[in-house]
Amino acid sequence: MPSTYSSIWFELFLEPIQPVRTAAEVAFVARHLPLPTYQSVLDLCCGWGRHAGLLAERGYQVTAVDRDPQAIAEAQRRTAGRGITCLVRDMRSVADLPAPYSAVICLWQSFGYFDEATNAEVLRRISQTLPPRGRVILDLYHRAFFETHQGIRIIERNSLTITERKSMRGDRLTVSLDYGPGHGADIFEWQLYTPDSLRTLANRCGFACLMACSRFDDRMPATANDSRTQIVLEKTEDQMVNNANGRNTCPGS
């Protein structure tokens, strides 16, 4: 199944992430989800819970969700004793979770796995879990970057030679990772967005776009020079608030 992460992917690409990087990402989240207003946080597609654990230490009430049972088991092990609720769920069933939450985070390019209509429905269902002024933080691949960064790359990691192939078709990115003889392969696929196209989708789903940046740094604009962009959304009664204010881009993009 495309976009199903194997155990070898977790070992090669998630395990090596340095704690200082995770801490910087969590600090960004905390700046845009100030306590106590945004105390109840849903960590959607949480993986091993590396963000959930630090958020709980800061005083957030965290529910960590992932569709991968092994990932959730590892998240439970790594965050034990911090009061985090860990659940095996697909992000498409977010509306069935024990809401309400004051905020939702979906990090590490975990939004956009499905077709256009399903991705939009996921964002609408996220909106249903939030009160007015509830917030969403998305960490996405930037479409414009990958339009100019396709092809084959060789990655050396843990004594393995990995062949990565990236290709775009329309707004969809496919990435394949061949881990070499006897180690298998992974295939991932996303619908990619620019900050503007994500803002348009967010408006239709009842959100205003508060800001967009890169490198989890509010001072760094989201541009085609960076592969990822972070976008902060806020639920509003007026689905077209940005248009009404004459804004055609997400601030910071």
> Each residue of 129-158: pLDDT tens digit?
999 999 999 999 999 999 999 999 999 999
Tell me whether residue 15 is in a domain: yes
pLDDT score of 99: 75
Tell me whether residue 152 is in a domain: yes
Tell me whether residue 75 is in a domain: yes
Residue 243: band (very low, low, confident or very high) from pLDDT cuts 50, 70, 90: very low
pLDDT score of 252: 82
Tell me whether residue 250 is in a domain: no
Residues 117 and 138 in one domain: yes
Residues 127 and 26 in one domain: yes
Q: Kindly report the average pLDDT of the chain as a whole number.
A: 93
Tell me whether residue 238 is in a domain: yes
With a pLDDT cut of 70, the percent of the chain lying above it is: 94
pLDDT score of 240: 40
Tell me the CB-side half-sphere exposure of residue 54, using CA atoms within 13 A: 16
When divided into structural domains, the chain yields a total of 2
What mean pLDDT comes out for the span 211-236? 97
Residues 48 and 151 in one domain: no
Q: How far is CA 201 from CA 118, 233, 240, in A?
A: 12, 11, 11
Residues 198 and 121 in one domain: yes
pLDDT score of 111: 96
Residues 36 and 126 in one domain: yes
What mean pLDDT comes out for the span 234-244? 60
Residues 118 and 225 in one domain: yes
In three-state form (DSSP H/G/I as H, E/B as E, the rest C), the secondary structure along the chain is CCCCCCHHHHHHHHCCCCHHHHHHHHHHHHHHCCCCCCCEEEEECCCCCHHHHHHHHCCCEEEEEECCHHHHHHHHHHCCCCCCEEEECCHHHHHHCCCCCCEEEECCCCCCCCCHHHHHHHHHHHHHCCCCCCEEEEEEEEHHHHHCCCEEEEEEECCEEEEEEEEEECCEEEEEEECCCCCCEEEEEEECECHHHHHHHHHHCCEEEEEEEECCECCCCCCCCCCEEEEEEEECCCCCHHHHCCCCCCCCC
Among 19-28, 40-49, 88-97, 234-243, which stretch is predicted with the lowest mean pLDDT? 234-243
pLDDT score of 224: 96
Residues 159 and 113 in one domain: no
Token pair for 246: 């004459």
Tell me whether residue 253 is in a domain: no
What mean pLDDT comes out for the span 201-223? 97
With a pLDDT cut of 90, the percent of the chain lying above it is: 87
What mean pLDDT comes out for the span 190-214? 97
Residues 23 and 77 in one domain: yes
Residue 184: band (very low, low, confident or very high) from pLDDT cuts 50, 70, 90: very high
Say whether pLDDT at 253 is over 80: no
Tell me whether residue 218 is in a domain: yes
Residues 55 and 178 in one domain: no
What mean pLDDT comes out for the span 229-245? 71
What CATH number is attached to the domain comprising 239?
3.40.50.150
> Which residue range forms the structural domain that includes residue 156?
145-188
Residues 228 and 175 in one domain: no
What mean pLDDT comes out for the span 112-123? 96
Tell me whether residue 252 is in a domain: no
Residues 182 and 238 in one domain: no
- Please say which residue of 155, 170, 188 terminates a domain: 188
pLDDT score of 2: 57
Residues 120 and 209 in one domain: yes
Say whether pLDDT at 246 is over 60: no
